[in-house]
Amino acid sequence: MNAKNAKRIGLTSIPGLALMPNIALAANMGDIASDLAGQGQQIGDLIMIICAVAGIGVALMGLFKFKAHSANPNDPSNKMSSALTLIFVGAAMVAIPELLGSGVSTIFGDGAEVQDYGRLPTGN
């Protein structure tokens, strides 16, 4: 990048930064921490949804593998063990959010703050 292009980029970005002054201004460290905590909550909800959807998908793959084994038991790619493994892995992925909540209570006691992942997030 030559100096002329760098100057052009710098001059065009200054008005954009002037229109968004709140991006770099935080009142204090507490505000930054609360913003990060809110983002952590959203990340936890995203992980919960991904685990549920992926777990259902993996369990369905296991059921289809079981059906393929039933249709052709001599096919080495359709083993019963792989079907059962996929079903159990899918069930474990669906159960991960609930296990995480009870695991935190077990390790840190009943006074620990635990997120209820037994329901889908409402978007609030």
Within-domain flag for 21: yes
Name the pLDDT band for 84 (thresholds 50, 70, 90): very high
Query: How many domains does the chain contain in total?
Result: 1
Q: DSSP letter at 113?
A: -
Whether 55 is in a domain gets the answer yes
pLDDT in tens, 30-42: 777 777 766 766 7
What percent of the chain is predicted at pLDDT more than 90? Answer: 22
Say what the pTM is.
0.57
124 found inside a domain:
no
Looking at residue 59, what is its pLDDT? 94
Is 117 a member of any domain? no
pLDDT at 80 over 80: yes
22 in a structural domain = yes
Residue 118 lies in a domain: no
Residue 56 lies in a domain: yes
Structural domain for 45, as ranges: 3-108
Kindly calculate the radius of gyration of the chain based on its CA atoms and give it in whole angstroms: 25
**Most confident by average pLDDT, 19-28, 67-76, 84-93, 110-119:** 84-93
